[in-house]
Chains A and B, each alone.
Chain A
Amino acid sequence: MSEILRVNDLKTHYRISKGFSLKDKGSIKAVDGVSFYVNEGETFGLVGESGCGKTTLGKAILGLVPTTAGNVEFMGRNITGMSRDEMREVRRNLQVIFQDPYGCLDPRKTVEQIIAEPLVVHKIGGKKERHDRVRELMDVVGLSPAHIYRYPHEFSGGQRQRIGIARALILNPKLIICDEPVSALDVSIQSQVLNLLNDLQDKYGLTYIFIAHGLPVVKYISNRIGVMYLGKMVEMSDSEELYAKPLHPYTQALMSAIPIPDPTHEKEQIILEGEIPSPLNPPSGCHFHTRCRFAEPKCAQEEPPFIEYEKGHYVACWRCMK
C-alpha cells in the first residue's frame, strides 16, 4: 500500500484578541503538532470529543484554515502554503462531506446545480455532459435521477447526505474527508449511509478520512484510527488492535464510556472525573493528566512524546515509555 497523505507536525492556532484592543490574548491551539499518514484505499478514522481539534485538522488538510506550522503532503506534493489556484487543482482529488446535511446545501439551488457545482468551478464538460454526469451520480448514491430538478428541502436528512456525497464524488477524487457524515442522521438511516460509503470505496478505490465522535462507528468503518484529545493525537493504531489493546488511558476511558446495547453486559466502567479543559488554556505536560487515573507528577510537567510502542501502534503516554 502506498501512502497518499502525510501530515507532519501540523499546527493550527487561532489568535484571540478581545474587543477593540488588538492586544494578543493568547491563542487556541486547536491542532497542536499532529503527525500521521493515510494509505491509499484505506479509511483512516479520527475520533475525539468536542474541542479535540478533529474538525480543524480536517479543515487544515483541505487548506480551509491557515496552518501555523508543519505541513501536509498529498500525493507526493507539499500542499501547505499553496496559492488559491494551485489548491483548487489539488481539491479535484481532495473532497469533503460535511456533518450537517441541512446547512451544507444551498436551499436556492436545485440538486443538479448543487451536484454539478464542482464541474462548473473546474470548468469541466458542457451542459449536456454535466447533466448526464449528475444523473449518473445520483444513481450511484441511491437517489432517483428523476428528482434532479428538486430542491434540498424536498429531501429527507439521509437523502440530503447522499446529495452531499454525490457532490464530493463528481470530480472522481482520490481522498474524501468525511466530517461526522452520519451524526445528524437517524439511527436507521446511519447504516444506509455507512454501507454506501463502503460500497463507493470498493467501487472507486477511494481513500477516506472519517472524522467522528462516536467510537463504534469509527471503529466499524476504519482500517486505522487516530484518537485526539485537546489538539494532540494521543494514540494511533490499526482499528482492531486499538479495540483489543487500547494503550492510552483516555482511549480506555472513551471505550468504556460507550453505552452498550446489551442490558446483560457487565463491564467495569471507567468514569472520567471532571470536564474537558478549554483548549485556550490546556493543562501543562500531558493534556490529559487532570482527568487521568494514573497521573503522576511527571505527567503535569513534561509532555509525553508520540512513540511507536509496537509496530504500527503509536501512543503518547509516560506509562508506555519502556
Chain B
Amino acid sequence: MKPVLLDVQHLVTSFTSDSVKTVAVEDVSFQVHEGETVGIVGESGSGKSVTSMSVMRLIEAPSGKIESGTIMFNGRNLLELSEKEMQKVRGHEISMIFQEPTTSLNPTKLCGDQIAESIIIHQGKSKDEAHKMAVEMLRLVGIPLPEQRANEYPHQLSGGMRQRVMIAIALSCSPKLLIADEPTTALDVTIQAQILKLMRDLKEKMGMSIMLITHDLGVVAEMSEKVIVMYLGKIVEEAEVVELFKNPKHPYTMGLMKSIPTLETPKGKLYTIEGFIATADNKPSGCGFHPRCPYAMEICKTKTPEFTYLENGHRYACHLSEVK
C-alpha cells in the first residue's frame, strides 16, 4: 500500500443560522493514499460536498464552522494552518473542480489568463512563461487549437470545453490531491465519457490522488479504487470498489444499488428505498437511515451504530452486524 496522503479523522462541520446549529458532517474519518482515487457517494444532504469543502477549508465563516477533528495532509494538520499558509496549499497542493463549469469560471477573463493566474501565484513564473504553460495545459486536457482558445472567454466554449479548462486550472500546479465535486454531472453522457477518460489519463500521467464526489454509482465504479458511502452527514460504508459492489453490507448501499435501473434491468417493479431523505436540521435519532430501512430494529431508533470492520478495509455502520 502506498503512503497515506490525506488523513481525515473525526471531522465535524456545522452550520448555524438563526442560532440553530445543524451538524452537516458528523464524525467523518477516512484516508486517501498516494495515487489513489477515492469515490464519495451520497445524495442531497449526505455531507459529501461539505466534507470536501472542509478539506479545502472553504467552509464559510461565521455560519459554517469546522468544530473538531484533524485533517492531516502530507504530514501537516490543515486545520492548524494560518489562512496565509492555507492559501499556498489551495490550488497548489490540493485543487478542486466543481460541478458547474459555467459558474466557476470568471466570465470577464480570458481562459488562458485564468490558468496562468494560479501558475503566477503559486510558482512565481513571469506572465509570459505562465501564459506559455497555460497553453500547454490546454493542450494537455485535449482542447483543440489551444493557442487560440487561450485567448477566448468562457462563454465562447461549450460545457465540456469549459470543464476541460477547469481541469487545466486545477492541474496547472501539479497538485498532489484533486478534489472533483460532481465533475461530470452537468455534462452530456458522451461528453462525460470524454472527461472521465481525461481524468483517468491525467491521473496516470501526473500520479496524483483524486477525491471524486458523485451521486452516480456508475461513475464511481468506473473511476475509483475505494468507495465511501455517506448518508446524512455520516459515513455508512467504505470498501474497495470491487468488494463494495459485490458485497455491499449497509442496507442503504444495498438499496441504492438495487434501485438504479441499468440497461439490463427488466421491466416490472423497481426496488425502492421507501420514504425520503431527512434534512440535516431534523435528523432521525439513532441510525439516520432507520426510518427508511427495511431491516430497522428497536435499537436502530435509539443507538447510533458503530463500525464493523471486515477484511481489506471494508467497514460499515449497521446494527445488523451484531444480530448475525
A interface with B by C-beta (< 8 Å): 49-50, 156-159, 186-192, 194-195, 198, 213-217, 219-221, 243, 253-265, 269, 271-272, 275-276, 291
Does residue B309 face the partner (Cβ distance < 8 Å to A)? no
* Separation of A216 and B292 alpha carbons in the complex (Å): 25
Q: Which residues of A contact B245 (CB under 8 A)?
A: 261-264
Rounded to whole Å, the gap between the CB of B163 and the closest CB of chain A is 12
Closest 4 CB pairs of A and B: A259-B218, A220-B261, A191-B259, A49-B188
Q: Is B43 touching A186 in the complex (CB atoms < 8 A)?
A: yes
Given A194-B270, A275-B161, the answer on whether A260 and B242 have CB atoms closer than 8 Å is no
Rounded to whole Å, the gap between the CB of B240 and the closest CB of chain A is 9
Interface of B is mostly: helix
* Separation of A256 and B192 alpha carbons in the complex (Å): 12
Residue of A189, A192, A262 near B221 (CB, 8 A) is A262
* Separation of A259 and B194 alpha carbons in the complex (Å): 12
Q: Which residues of A contact B19 (CB under 8 A)?
A: none
Q: Is A259 touching B269 in the complex (CB atoms < 8 A)?
A: no
* Separation of A247 and B190 alpha carbons in the complex (Å): 17
Interface residues on B, range: 35 or more
Q: Is B221 touching A271 in the complex (CB atoms < 8 A)?
A: no
Besides A194-B261, A217-B261, 10 other CB < 8 A contacts?
A49-B190, A188-B277, A221-B261, A256-B193, A258-B189, A261-B218, A263-B221, A263-B245, A269-B197, A272-B190
Given A188-B256, A263-B245, the answer on whether A255 and B262 have CB atoms closer than 8 Å is no
Q: Which residues of A contact B217 (CB under 8 A)?
A: 187, 261
Interface of A is mostly: helix
* Separation of A257 and B43 alpha carbons in the complex (Å): 23
Does residue B196 face the partner (Cβ distance < 8 Å to A)? yes
Given A187-B43, A257-B190, A262-B221, the answer on whether A275 and B160 have CB atoms closer than 8 Å is yes
Q: Is A216 touching B241 in the complex (CB atoms < 8 A)?
A: no
Residue of A157, A187, A220, A221 near B256 (CB, 8 A) is A187
Q: Is A253 touching B190 in the complex (CB atoms < 8 A)?
A: yes
Across the interface, name the chain A residue whose C-beta is closest to B261: A220
Q: Is A259 touching B44 in the complex (CB atoms < 8 A)?
A: no
* Separation of A150 and B276 alpha carbons in the complex (Å): 18
Q: Which residues of A contact B269 (CB under 8 A)?
A: 195, 198
Q: Which residues of A contact B80 (CB under 8 A)?
A: none
* Separation of A186 and B255 alpha carbons in the complex (Å): 13
* Separation of A191 and B258 alpha carbons in the complex (Å): 10
Rounded to whole Å, the gap between the CB of B242 and the closest CB of chain A is 5
Q: Is A191 touching B218 in the complex (CB atoms < 8 A)?
A: no
Rounded to whole Å, the gap between the CB of B284 and the closest CB of chain A is 15
9 pairs of residues in contact across A and B, judged by CB atoms under 8 Å: A49-B191, A158-B276, A187-B215, A192-B272, A219-B265, A220-B261, A260-B218, A275-B160, A276-B190
